[in-house]
Structure 1
Amino acid sequence: MSPVTDLPNLDPALFRAPSAEALGLAEGDAEAPRILLLYGSLRSRSFSRLAVEEAARLLRAMGAETRLFDPHGLPLPDTEEATHPKVAELRELVQWSEGMVWCSPERHGAMTGIMKAQIDWIPLSLGAVRPTQGKTLAVMQVCGGSQSFNAVNQLRILGRWMRMLTLPNQSSVPKAFMEFDDNDRMKPSPFYDRIVDVMEELVKFTLLVRGRREVLTDRYSERKESAAALSSRVNQRAI
């Protein structure tokens, strides 16, 4: 667990790392949640990257294990095979994760193409594995001007499309260039506090969902489809 001393904006007396015990879960559910963080800019000083780096520090302080995917070198969807090293890296991280954070800058009133390309490379299924279904998702955006929610609204739609459990809470940071200091750390503000709230919620929901994904995502239509496929194979063998 990361020390709170690395998080100078936090009040240690008020900061609480979510625990399996407090959520009424079994001791076996206390293993560190595995969280993948994606950001949507290739700039050398990317504020979406700085925002997820702050989020990752908070997640580690809450007991989570975090990994960030660097989108540099990721090809546009369908321009390369899925065996491309960056595509393979992204997909391996998605499969490793139990939850994700998606953070995009808002550009022309929407998420960036870099953000969308990462999501487009994540399939709904990899063989018999559904890499996103039932996993938790927190959405964030950084704005160059006044606060808006266009990017997070789009990310929320994509999260539902990917069959993820998208959190009710979200973060939108206006005038992001004013919210980080010369050391690339976020300044204390209500916007920082909101990120703390969102990450706390993400850890809680990830712990609650753990071990229950199969039950939560078990669907009548898919059971019916599987039964029909099984019946067809049996009939073919009988012929």
Structure 2
Amino acid sequence: MADLPNLNPEALPAIDSAALGNPVARTARILLLYGSLRPRSFSRLAVEEAQRILERLGADTRVFNPSGLPLPDDAEADHPKVVELRELASWCDGMVWCSPERHGAMTGIMKAQIDWIPLSLGAVRPTQGKTLAVMQVCGGSQSFNVVNQLRVLGRWMRMLTTPNQSSVPKAFLEFDEAGRMKPSAYYNRIVDVMEELMKFTVLVQGREDYLVDRYSERVESAAELSRRVNQTSI
């Protein structure tokens, strides 16, 4: 089990899938994305803390390293890093997005990752109906610009975004020399967000198709079926 010196294990029980009305839910798969390539990237360190917490809660996790990912439209979709990212997006049940705030917005590295994940891959929609938790780290005072932007993108990607979120101000003060987050209310908030993400993910598992089944698409499908039947009968 991951080393979690800041965590009170008695206060963080395992997620009870039966209590959420979905006792057959399998191990939740969570993909974590971060938005900086600096050697001491605080968004990466925050994601690594989130990963440890998620694994404590029973998740199967993967962290995508964006180093080497080309800019959108500057390479073909068969680029190895693009293929890796898209396969992970299809593999997971939910995601964590964490970006630094740069010039009042998420970084280009963060946005490029999201832009490479399409709304559809053939008949598969790799993000629709999946869960999402959003986080940001700040170089100065606390801000919510990035998490608000990430929420907009999550809705656009048809993801179910958790109500809670994390914003860590003056992140350079919140991590020790080993890269571990110090005990604080900000650390506890990340625990809150990851616990909420896991609950939402377990709640949704196996029900995604029903939750995103839309009237407008059913009407469109019925019209297309009628058109084909009429063409066949002519």
Q: What is the TM-score with the length of structure 2 in the denominator?
A: 0.97
Q: Aligned runs of 1:122-133 on 2, under 5 Å?
A: 122-133=117-128
Letter in 2 for 1:137: L
Which residue in the other structure is 1:50 paired with? 45
Per the alignment, in what secondary structure is the counterpart of residue 206 of structure 2?
A: coil
Displacement after TM superposition at 1:118 (Å)? 0.4
Which residue in the other structure is 2:154 paired with? 159
Displacement after TM superposition at 1:61 (Å)? 0.3
CA contact (8 A) 1:36 1:97 kept: yes
Q: Residue 184 in 1 paired to residue 172 in 2?
A: no
Displacement after TM superposition at 1:77 (Å)? 0.5
Q: Residue 69 in 1 paired to residue 64 in 2?
A: yes
Select 1:19's aligned residue among 16, 22, 34. Answer: 16
Letter in 2 for 1:90: L
Which residue in the other structure is 1:211 paired with? 206
Q: What CA distance in whole angstroms lies between the structure 1 residues aligned with 2:75 and 2:231? A: 38
CA contact (8 A) 1:134 1:217 kept: yes
CA contact (8 A) 1:36 1:93 kept: yes
Give the gaps of 5 or more residues in structure 1: none
Q: What CA distance in whole angstroms lies between the structure 1 residues aligned with 2:154 and 2:203? A: 18
CA contact (8 A) 1:34 1:99 kept: yes
CA contact (8 A) 1:144 1:174 kept: yes
Displacement after TM superposition at 1:80 (Å)? 1.0
Q: What is the TM-score with the length of structure 1 in the denominator?
A: 0.95
CA RMSD across the alignment: 1.0
CA contact (8 A) 1:33 1:64 kept: yes
Q: Number of aligned pairs?
A: 234
Query: Which stretch has the larger CA shift, 191-200 or 73-82?
Result: 73-82
Per the alignment, in what secondary structure is the counterpart of residue 178 of structure 2?
A: coil
